[in-house]
Amino acid sequence: MRTPPATRSRAPSPSAETGAADSIPEPAHLELRIWLRLLGCTAQIENYLRTRLRAEFGISLARFDLMAQLDRRPAGVSMSDISRLLLVSNGAVTGLVDRLVKEGMVTRKSNAGDRRAFIVSFTPAGRRAFAKMAKRHEEWVLSLLGDIPIDAKQQLLGQLVHLKRRLEDTR
């Protein structure tokens, strides 16, 4: 690979900067700083998991996330439900499921009760494949977050739960 792992690497390491004196003022508001950190941490973890999943299983993060939702709902899920759960547009789900069907991971059954909707669920092969990936995935997350002191973790989770609730209200 000639391309350096730009996706992985990180941050304003001063030596990496082009300009000489660069100022780089910290954003003023606490709120803005929180948002930028939130975004940065998430992107970092996402990139890590993405490359791992691709390297070990040749699967994309989007596919994995979709399968994770299926895994938690044995009864199957409709297309719109997936879209809501994944916070992704309806059009995106169509393509994703198409590809997963082609790979034999999931099936699309038409719904007896409502012929507009489809029910997406795992194939046996899909469920098996996901179980393996989920195990590794969990290990990776643990390796990233495991070393944080336990009370810090509990605090952080608490904050995030609150934030999520608040965001749901604001829509």
Partner DNA sequence: CCTCAATATTTCATGTCTAAAACATTCTGT
Partner DNA sequence: ACAGAATGTTTTAGACATGAAATATTGAGG
The C-alpha atoms of residue 130 and residue 126 are separated, in whole angstroms, by 6
- Of 45, 62, 134, 144, the one binding DNA (CB under 7 A) is 62
Of the listed pieces 52-60, 100-108, 125-133, 156-164, which binds a copy of itself according to CB under 8 A? 156-164
Q: Which stretch binds DNA (CB under 7 A): 106-114, 133-141, 143-151, 157-165?
A: 106-114
Tally Cβ neighbours within 10 Å of residue 124.
8
Q: Please select the residue that binds a copy of itself; options are 23, 55, 58, 116, rule is CB under 8 A.
A: 23
Least distance CB 77 / DNA (angstroms): 9
Min CB(95)–DNA separation in Å: 6
Mapped to the 3 state alphabet, what secondary structure does 35-94 carry?
HHHHHHHHHHHHHHHHHHHHHHHCCCHHHHHHHHHHHCCCCCECHHHHHHHHCCCHHHHH
Min. distance of Cβ 30 from a copy of itself in angstroms? Answer: 5
* Closest CB 50 distance from a copy of itself, rounded Å: 11
Residue 115 near DNA by CB under 7 A:
yes
Assess 142 for contact with a copy of itself (CB under 8 A). yes
> Which residues touch 125 (CB under 8 Å, ≥6 apart)?
104, 105
Write phi, then psi, for 13 (nearest 5 degrees): -55, 115
Residue 167: C-alpha distances to residues 4, 147, 164 (Å): 37, 28, 5
Q: Interface mask (CB under 8 A) for a copy of itself, residues 93-132, using x and -?
A: ------------------x-----x-x-------------
Tokens 């950190």 correspond to 37
Residues near DNA (CB under 7 A) are 1-5, 7, 47, 50-51, 54, 60, 62-63, 78-81, 86-97, 99, 108, 111, 114-118
